[in-house]
Structure 1
Amino acid sequence: MKNAKGKGAVKVSKEALKPVDDRKVGKRKAPSKPDKGSAPKAKKEKKAKKDPNKPKRPPSAFFVFLEEFRQTFKAENPNVKAVSAVGKAGGEKWKSLSSAEKAPYEAKAAKRKAEYEKLMKAYDKKQASSADDDESDKSKSEVNDEDDEASAEDHQEEEEEEDDEDEEDEDDD
């Protein structure tokens, strides 16, 4: 027998080429996605911008240790340029240290954390006071002008309602 390759090997009817109705066959179809242009896009929530004045978090004891370890590692291995190699070596060294050897790094980290907490308290107070200042950024005259405009609009609406009522009363007579 010959392989079924070539032009006339397999004849396919026109009906076989037509799209199959999935409901008849029983196949499940994924829900169709709406066109990009037809549906309005949902607005993404914007992240709050980071404040450059906010104090940075203090390093952990491990990172305090790494600051010193990097200097010694680079002195011992000047040809190693990869940051990952320094990190891996530092991690292994940190794991091998006893708790007594880790104590000075933990003390430095605790000291830095205490300083950070003081800075954060001062920062939070400053933020709270600036939030109050935002309300008072407008001068009192601007605030009064807005109040005057609002009361003028209310007064005008009341007059229009009274005029409408008067016209209705005249129509009834």
Structure 2
Amino acid sequence: MKGGQSKSEATSTDQRLKTRGRKPGKKTTKDPNKPKRPPSAFFVFLDDFRREFNEANPNNKSVATVGKAAGAKWKSMSDEDKAPYASKAETRKTEYAKSMQQYNMKLASGTNRGEDEESKSEVDEAGGSEEEEDDD
């Protein structure tokens, strides 16, 4: 290769450009049962503001316009005006903490249940289970 990089130099550059820490082809799957994170006070405000803005401007199709108007209004609001949205966000945050605690408990018990199912299947192969004894 005239004046350029040799093949070995090009491949070493390619190796450095690859993402680090994750092997290609392996994606982590998200649990659909995991609770969503609660919105901040601004997003609680944005939910109300979006409704009002769309009623006042029915012909507006731009999401950016709504976001800019909401951001400008949020910045101009005093702390007293923001207080109801902050309190709503706090209650949602405590609900989220409770639901995450329940979710983590289910996860912890779910791993133990998997081990129990294996031991029950061994009992089934040996000749009987607890369910069959209850039916008799």
TM-score exceeds 0.5? yes
Q: For residue 33 of structure 1, give the secondary structure of its aligned residue in structure 2.
A: helix
Pick the aligned partner of 1:88 from 68, 79, 102: 68
- Equivalent residue in structure 2 for 1:134, among 111, 114, 135: 114
Tell me the residue number matched to 2:39.
59
Distance in 2 separating the partners of 1:67 and 1:98: 18
- Matching residue of 1:47: 27
Q: Secondary structure at the match of 1:137?
A: helix
Cα–Cα, structure 1 residues 122 and 141, in superposed 2: closer, same or farther, change >3 Å? closer
- Alignment-derived partner of residue 98 in structure 1: 78
Q: Tell me how far apart the structure 2 counterparts of residues 47 and 29 of structure 1 sit (CA, whole Å).
A: 33
Q: Give ranges in structure 1 of 5+ residues lacking alignment.
A: 1-18, 35-41, 146-173
Q: Name which of structure 1's ranges 132-141 and 64-73 shifts more when overlaid on structure 2.
A: 132-141
Letter in 2 for 1:99: D
2:7 equivalent to 1:33: no
Per-residue CA deviations over 1:103-148 (Å, capped at 9, x if unaligned) read: 00000000000011000000000000001112222135638x8xxx
**Structure 1 residues 41-84: Cα deviation after superposition (integer angstroms, max 9, x where no partner):** x9526232111111111110000000110111111111111111
Using the size of structure 1 for normalisation, the TM-score is: 0.58
| Percent identity for Structure 1 against Structure 2 | 53
From the superposition, tell whether residues 91 and 140 of structure 1 become closer, same or farther in structure 2 (CA, over 3 Å): same
- Tell me the distance in 2 between the aligned counterparts of 1:141 and 1:80: 61
Choose 1 or 2 for highest CA Rg.
1
Number of residues paired by the alignment?
114
Q: Quick one: structure 1 residues 134 and 82, their matched pair in 2 at CA, closer, same or farther if it must change by over 3 Å? A: same
**Inter-partner Cα distance in structure 2 for 1:49 and 1:109:** 28
The structure 1 residue matched to 2:98, chosen from 98, 101, 118, is 118
Aligned to 1:16: none
Q: Distance in 1 between matches of 2:85 and 2:118?
A: 50
When the two chains are superposed, the root-mean-square deviation of aligned CA atoms in Å is: 2.7
Question: How has the CA–CA distance of structure 1 residues 55 and 80 changed in structure 2, closer, same or farther, with 3 Å as cutoff?
Answer: same
Match of 1:108 in 2: 88
> 1:77 aligned to 2:57?
yes
Structure 1 window deviating more from structure 2 (130-139 vs 58-67): it is 130-139
SS in 2 for 1:111: helix
Partners of 1:137 and 1:53 lie apart in 2 by 21
Looking at structure 2, the residues matched to 128 and 141 of structure 1 have their Cα atoms a distance apart, in angstroms, of 21
